Amino acid sequence: MINTQFRQQFPYFKQNGNWTYLDSAATTLKPQILIDETCQFYQSAGSVHRSQYDLSQTQAYEKARDLVAKRFNVVTREAVIWTSGTTHAINIIANGLDEQIQTDDEIIITVAEHHANFVPWQQLAERKHAKLVVLPLNENYQLEPTALQNALSERTKIVALNLVSNVTGVRQPVEALIPIIRQYTEAKVILDIAQAVCSEQVDVQKLDADFYAFSAHKMYGPTGVGVLMGKSQSLAQIKPLIFGGKMLQNVTEQQLTLAELPYRLEAGTPNIAGIIGFGKVLEWLETWDFQQLNQGLYHLATQMRKRLESYPNIQILGNAISPTMSFTFSNQHHADLATILAEQKIALRSGEHCAKPYLRYLSKTGTLRLSLAHYNISDDLNQFFNALDTTLAILQD
C-alpha cells in the first residue's frame, strides 16, 4: 500500500508509536526530508540575496518559488510571494486593497470562514466605513450560487471564500461561484485554500481567483512559511503591509521607490530554512503518485464516515466524504470526550476551530474534529473507534 510506504517517511510514527494522530487539519506531520534539509541549512551560513557567498542558499530559495509556481500552475514565478502563513497572506491582501475600498462598499465572505479569513475583512470594513456582508450556507454547508448572485452589486469590491472548511471539510463549489462574481462585478476574489492543499492539486488558473493563500504546514511543510499567490496584475495593485530591507529599488530621505514583484511584498529576512525545506518537500511530493495517495485517503475517509454514522446520538456536520469531519454527540460534551480520548493517546481537535461565528451559526459550542492525511491507515481508525467506545462507556457510568 502506497500510504503505508508514505507513512514510513514520517519519524513521528517511530517516536510516538503509542499515539494516534488524527489532527492533520491543524497541522500535518513532517517528513524526514524536511527535517534533514532544515538541519543542513542551519549548519551552513548566510542569508539570501544579500552577499556574493550566499549563492547556493539563494538558488535553493528561488527554486522553492519555482516549485510552488509549478505545483499550483501560477502563470509567473513573480506571482508567488512568501509569507509566514495563510493569516499573514490574507492580512497582506486586506491591508493592500485598503485604498481601493470606499465608504459603503461591500466585502462579501461566508459565515464559514476561519478567523484568518474573517477578521482582516471585518477590520478593513470598519476602517473604511464599508459593509461586511456575511452570507449563510445551504443545508449542504455550501454557499448557494443564487444566494451569492443576489448579494452581488456594483458596491461589491471583495469576495473572500474558503475552498474547504476547516470545521466541516466541505468544499465550496467555487467553479460555479467565481464565474458569477466575474459576470456581475469587478470585485477582487480571494480564496483561502489552506485546507485544500493537502488533498487537492489546486490549479490557480482554472479557478480564476485574484489571490490565493495557504500555509506550508498544512501540506507536510514547516510552520512559519506560507504563500500568497495569484494574478500578477492583482498582486501589483496591492501596497505592502511591511516595509524594510529588500522590498525597494531606492530610498532617499524624501522618497521610496518599491521593488518589483515578488520582492516588494517580502520585506525583511525571510524564513530561509523553512522555505528551502518546503521546496524540498514539494520536490519530494512530485515523486509520489498523488492520485494513488488520494485513493487511499478517500477510502479511509469513507470508512471513517460509515463508522461514525453507526453511533446513536451523533450528528456529523455535512454529508461530504472528506478527510476532515466534525461531529457532536447530543448527550455528551465535546471537551469531556476529547479529554478522555487524549488520555488514551488519541490526538484530535475539539472546540470552535478558530471559527466562532460559524459555530454560533451552527448553534454549537464546539465539535470534535477528525482529520486525516495520506499517512493515516485503517489501524489509526481502529485505535480511534476503540478509544471512543471506551470513552462513551466511561461517560455513561
Fill in the per-residue mask, 145 to 174: x = in contact with ligand PMP (CB under 6 A), - = not in contact.
-----------------x---x--------
Minimal distance in Å, beta carbon 114 to ligand PMP? 4
Q: How far apart are the first and last CA of the chain?
A: 40
Q: Which of 137, 317, 325, 354 is catalytic?
A: 354
Q: Which residues contact 115 (CB under 8 A, 6 or more apart)?
A: 354, 355, 356
Minimal distance in Å, beta carbon 89 to ligand PMP? 8
3-state helix, strand, coil in the chain (%, to 5): 45, 15, 40
Residue type, 371: S
Q: Which is nearer to ligand PMP, 264 or 369 (CB)?
A: 369
Would you call 198 a catalytic residue per the annotation?
Answer: no
Minimal distance in Å, beta carbon 117 to ligand PMP? 6
Q: Which is nearer to ligand PMP, 38 or 86 (CB)?
A: 86
- From candidates 23, 105, 106, 192, binder to ligand PMP by CB under 6 A: 192
Using CB under 6 A as the binding rule, whether residue 224 contacts ligand PMP is answered as: no
Note if the bond before 270 is cis, omega within 30 degrees: no
Q: C-alpha angle with apex 30: 276 to 386, nearest 5 degrees?
A: 165
1 half-sphere exposure, CB direction, 13 A CA radius: 15
Interacting span for ligand PMP (CB under 6 A) from 11-19, 79-87, 300-308, 388-396: 79-87
Q: Which is nearer to ligand PMP, 108 or 152 (CB)?
A: 108
DSSP letter string, 4-47: HHHHTT-THHHHTTT-EE-BTTT-----HHHHHHHHHHHTS---
Fill in the per-residue mask, 276 to 295: x = in contact with ligand PMP (CB under 6 A), - = not in contact.
--------------------
Give the total of residues touching ligand PMP (CB under 6 A). 13
**In angstroms, rounded to a whole number, what is the distance separating the alpha carbons of residues 366 and 183?**
38
- From candidates 48, 79, 80, 116, binder to ligand PMP by CB under 6 A: 116
- From candidates 97, 190, 194, 381, binder to ligand PMP by CB under 6 A: 194
Copy the grid coordinates of residue 40.
Answer: 543542513
Using CB under 6 A as the binding rule, whether residue 117 contacts ligand PMP is answered as: yes
Copy the grid coordinates of residue 333.
Answer: 460534551
**In angstroms, rounded to a whole number, what is the distance separating the alpha carbons of residues 335 and 370?**
14
Residues known to be catalytic: 354
Residues forming contacts to ligand PMP in the complex (CB under 6 A) are 85-87, 114, 116-117, 162, 166, 192, 194-195, 215, 354
